[in-house]
A = this chain, B = another copy of it.
Amino acid sequence: MSIKLVSSTKSFGGTQSVYTHESAACNCEMKFAVFTPPKENHGAGPFPVLYWLSGLTCTEENFITKSGFQRVAAELGLVIVAPDTSPRGTSVPDDPEEAYDFGLGAGFYLNATEEPWSEHYQMYDYITRELPELIEKEFPVDGSRAGIFGHSMGGHGAMTIHLKNPDKFKTCSAFAPIVAPAQVPWGEKAFSNYLGSDTTKWADYDATELVAKRPSKAEILIDQGTADNFLVDQLRPELFATAATKAGQKFTLRMQDGYDHSYYFISTFIGDHLRWHAARL
């Protein structure tokens, strides 16, 4: 379990790096990005750590080049980890039509049970176990102060992973998350392929189903743009809000007027999210 440096760049006094390693969970080489804050301001750590899960089509690059998170992470003294969104490589199967919403770039942060996906698409184990172990071993982080957040498919990942592991990922927030994958086209396509046609198995990866059964003690922050093209058909935050309210899950859903699904939306509010997590870790 050794990591290999791909690139390292100074940013806001800290260091933005990308690494590769051989993932046992995904049975292939995986990439992830890590930002470490400036030593001058914060010492050598250990630091609280946040895991960012990206959306469909993304790699470990999108968040670190487009969100501008480094400014506030440097200020607050946070380590930020941004993994890739799926296994990759010549041996990893993709959607037969190479669609953007399934296969490569669309791992949905679950453990696939169906062939041919199950051999590599084990993103749930990767994100919840293998990656944190590696991060806690190799970087100056305090694993007892960890949170998780993400965008769209990554918001789905963050919310489901938090709800199932509230002691490991203590804080949670999301931008324009898929909150009820079992009820929307993106989730139906991915889950039927990765998990099979028995929809009772889907509930384990559906934030709206999960929150009904196991609300966490944390307060979940959700930002959702009102001009998001995917709001009505794919995201449907009201489904989570209703279930969370019923279950006693604390949450804040902010409908952000005029914002779309892009990184322009994320960059506008990323500072708020980092401060939200930092105040609670």
Within 8 A of B (CB), among A58-81: 65-66, 68, 70-71
Q: Which residues of B contact A12 (CB under 8 A)?
A: 267-268
A9 interface hit (Cβ, 8 Å): yes
> Which one of B70, B260, B264 lies within 8 Å of A264 (CB-CB)?
B70
User: Which residues of chain A from 209 to 253 have a CB within 8 Å of any chain B CB?
Assistant: 225, 227
Which among B9, B10, B258, B263 is the interface contact of A65 at CB below 8 angstroms? B263
Closest to A256 in B: B10
- Residue from B10, B68, B70, B227 within 8 A of A10 (CB atoms): B227
Residues of B within 8 A of A71 (CB): 68, 267-268
Answer yes or no: A259 CB below 8 A from chain B CBs: yes
A260 to B7, CA, bound (A): 12
**A11 engages B65 (CB within 8 Å):** no
Can you pick out 20 interface pairs between chain A and chain B where the beta carbons lie within 8 Å of each other? A9-B260, A9-B262, A9-B264, A9-B265, A10-B227, A10-B258, A10-B259, A10-B260, A10-B268, A11-B264, A11-B267, A11-B268, A12-B267, A16-B264, A65-B263, A66-B66, A68-B71, A70-B267, A71-B267, A71-B268
Q: Besides A11-B265, A71-B267, A71-B268, 19 other CB < 8 A contacts?
A: A9-B265, A10-B258, A10-B259, A10-B265, A10-B268, A11-B264, A11-B267, A11-B268, A12-B268, A13-B268, A16-B264, A65-B65, A65-B66, A65-B263, A66-B66, A68-B68, A68-B71, A70-B264, A70-B267
